[in-house]
């Protein structure tokens, strides 16, 4: 299916938020996910389905100074 990942079209075989993050190689630590402008709690990543055309925004905390 094709969805919008961080503003860009992305073709994925993932069915859930957790599968998408795994597919993209994104570590869950320090990561926040919004699906169609709604924050998805980490406890729901495994059970939150993705749909064609969905907008997924992934933010990762970065340390620095």
- What does the domain layout of the chain look like in residue ranges? 2-60
User: What number of helices (H) and strands (E) belong to the chain?
Assistant: 1, 5
HSE of 45, CA atoms in CB hemisphere, 13 A? 20
Predicted structure pTM score: 0.91
Residue-wise pLDDT for 3-42, tens only, equals: 999 999 999 999 999 999 999 999 999 999 999 999 999 9
Task: State in words which class domain 2-60 has.
Answer: alpha beta
Residue-wise pLDDT for 41-59, tens only, equals: 999 999 999 999 999 999 9
């Amino acid at each position: 299916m094709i969805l919008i990942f961080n503003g860009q079209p992305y073709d994925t075989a993932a069915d859930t938020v957790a599968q998408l993050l795994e597919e993209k190689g994104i570590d869950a630590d320090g990561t926040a996910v919004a699906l169609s402008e709604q924050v998805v709690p980490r406890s729901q990543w495994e059970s939150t389905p993705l749909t064609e055309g969905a907008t997924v925004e992934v933010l990762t905390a970065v340390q620095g100074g």
